[in-house]
Amino acid sequence: MALAAILASACADGAAIGRLDEAIRRGDAGAVREHLAAGVSANASLPDGWTPLTLAAHLGYLDIVNAVADAGADLEHARRVGVERQWTALGWAATGGHREVVESLLARGARLEARSSRHQTPLMAAALGGHPGIVSRLVDAGADEQATDASGRTARELLP
């Protein structure tokens, strides 16, 4: 393939990913489904280190979380900023207090003990977000209450 064709393809892919990012941020599940059907990867790297699933979970868009998960999104992929591994979709949903998204991700098998670079779990994310109901739900689902982050704190110690 000629260099010009490769560059044109990369630009087209970048534009499609940009449109997917915009659709997620608008909460437009129909447009997200269209982009996925057109071949944009459910695991695409969006701006600022997001994936479609982590961004939708962070924003609390259940329909979009389900659409990208159904399209094969990796439940365990974490947002990355530089070398820092942040939370998986479950962590982002938990810290935002998005209970329906948390429930959907749990039903799909999201790992309760996925860790960020700071060794924080989704349980700790829920605690940091100030969502005791989600903390309780994750504990009921089997999250380790005794797990500690890089500073040696448990989720209960992180609750505001």
Using CA of residue 132, residue 113, residue 73, residue 45, what is the dihedral sign? positive
Q: Is there a contact between 123 and 135 (Cβ–Cβ < 8 Å)?
A: yes
Q: Which domains, ranges and CATH numbers included, belong to the chain?
A: 3-158 (1.25.40.20)
Task: List Cα–Cα distances, 115 to 70, 86, 129, 148, in angstroms.
Answer: 23, 8, 16, 10
Q: Tokens for 8, please give them.
A: 């044109």
SS (H, E, C) the chain: CCHHHHHHHHHHHHHHHHHHHHHHHHCCHHHHHHHHHCCCCCCCCCHHHCCHHHHHHHHCCHHHHHHHHHCCCCCCCCCEECCEECCCHHHHHHHHCCHHHHHHHHHCCCCCCCCCCCCCCHHHHHHHCCCHHHHHHHHHCCCCCCCCCCCCCCHHHHCC
Query: Which residues have a Cβ under 8 Å from the Cβ of 26 and sit 6 or more positions away?
Result: none
pLDDT tens digits for the chain (160 residues)? Answer: 443 333 333 334 778 899 999 999 999 999 999 999 999 999 999 988 889 999 999 999 999 999 999 999 999 987 766 656 688 999 999 999 999 999 999 999 999 999 988 889 999 999 999 999 999 999 999 999 999 999 999 999 988 7
Looking at residue 81, its pLDDT comes to: 63
The residue among 32, 35, 80, 31 whose CA lies nearest residue 54 is 80
